[in-house]
Amino acid sequence: MAQTHTQALAKTQAETLSQTRTLARGFADPVHEGQAVFRAAMEALSRPGRLRPLATALVPPAPLTPELAALALALIDADTPVWLDAPLRAEPAVAAFLRFHTGAPLVDAPDRAAFALIADPARCPAFTDFTPGTPAYPDASATLILAVETLSDEGGPAFAGPGIRGTVSFDASPLPADWASRWAANHAAFPLGLDLLFVAPGSLAGLPRSTRPVAPEMSPCT
């Protein structure tokens, strides 16, 4: 059992994973860590564009980042088909980690996924490849979790909408080149659309489909 692993092994297991076929550990305390990560995600989606801390001790197999792994363990399970982007799919240890700890079916077609984990957000497939829900069931839509390098709530493009008092600036990097038009199209389809969670080392932010990009010339000065 994982409990017999020494602390030292736990630290180095990420590097040695492919050789020794040991499995990186999940949450030490699934109940409270899962709750804390969910609450961070709930806050992130209810206050779009605002950065909040996300601390985790997970050491998942790269390129799965600790934050990506934390959200995956907190939100996905056997009921949620998961799609992995190319870098995550290229590392079999990632699929093994997710299969063992969550039991989630990993799907090849992005439009079948309830959650998509994206380690290379600059090359994220078109948003239209994922399912936006149906007019009768807009909740049956995908949630994308993107591991970016940096998150910023200063100086980026402005957003408004539910959860935002006035407007909020939000920027993440790297993002696809056509990010602005992608997000505008995603919001325009409301109530259909994708919901995005962004993770960077130690932090988290959310953009639900209800968040509207504010055109720069129309953005108020206050």
Which residues are near other proteins by CB under 8 A? Answer: 1-3, 25-32, 34-36, 38-39, 41-42, 45-47, 73-77, 79-80, 100-103, 114, 134-139, 141, 143, 161-165, 190-191, 195, 208-210
Tokens at 180, concatenated: 């602005």
Residue with tokens 């504010």: 214
CB contact at 8 A, 85 and 119: yes
> Peptide bond preceding 174: is omega within 30 degrees of 0, i.e. cis?
yes
Provide CB contacts within 8 A for 180, sequence distance 6+. Answer: 157, 213
Nearest Cα to 46, choosing from 203, 164, 160? 164
Determine the distance from the C-alpha atom of residue 111 to the mean position of all C-alpha atoms in its chain, rounded to a whole number.
16
| Beta carbons of 167 and 159 less than 8 angstroms apart | yes
Sheet with 212-214: strands ordered across: 168-169, 158-160, 212-214
As a whole number of angstroms, the longest Cα–Cα distance in the chain is: 60
Angle at which helix 66-75 crosses helix 92-102, to 10 degrees, equals: 30
- 3-state DSSP call for residue 147? strand
- Dist. CA 193–CA 128, nearest whole Å: 9
